[in-house]
Chain A
């Protein structure tokens, strides 16, 4: 079963605009991560935010985490055509015998030049 669910499933914006993607999850987590996937390629780690953090920045990326609402958002500022990709959130749950990443179904971002 999917732990994280991204919203929207698809997003199309103009170059230079900001893109915001949301992720909701179901169980308590240790950390939440965002990954990027270019078409047909492997996923690339973007940023990790721990359960005791509320906001984190990395270059043009800003991630927020609200553990009370079990949600996270990924903001990409000043988007570029090269940002076109699928973006996945993944959570590491506190439950279970081993800490494994569980991925959502992703948001397909298209940045139009």
Chain B
């Protein structure tokens, strides 16, 4: 089945470490997004990309960077992880020409920064 795959599913790291979360999709969608979810705060947008050459900051981009290596791949990096970046991270995709703004989500990466 066409899918949105996030790796790793869980990650524990230490303050100051650089880490990368990866997302790949087989849906053929052009748009990809990174969100973080904190308890009681819903989802907040970190970065989004509408095609390979397009990268945009979301609501909470400070401390994060992204790379759109191909249409199917969108990675999120924490340059120097800090404890308040502990959260559940989701990658999502959408198709500008088909289902419009409807998002398809990966299963998430639980990140803990100690």
Chain A residues at the B interface, C-beta cutoff of 8 Å: 1-2, 30-31, 33, 35, 40-45, 48, 88, 90, 92, 98-106
Give chain A residues whose Cβ lies under 8 Å from the Cβ of B58. 100
Give chain A residues whose Cβ lies under 8 Å from the Cβ of B101. 30-31, 33, 48, 92, 99, 101
Number of A-B contacts (CB under 8 A): 57
Is B26 among interface residues, defined by CB-CB distance under 8 A?
no
- Cα–Cα distance between A106 and B41 once the two chains are bound (Å): 8
Give chain A residues whose Cβ lies under 8 Å from the Cβ of B104. 45
B90 touches A42 (CB 8 A): yes
The main secondary structure of chain A at its interface with chain B is strand
A106-B56 contact given A43-B103, A44-B105, A92-B101, CB 8 Å threshold: no
B102 touches A88 (CB 8 A): no
Q: How far is the CB of A68 from chain B (nearest CB, A)?
A: 22
Q: Which residue of A lies closest to B48 (CB)?
A: A100
- Cα–Cα distance between A77 and B101 once the two chains are bound (Å): 26
- Cα–Cα distance between A99 and B58 once the two chains are bound (Å): 11
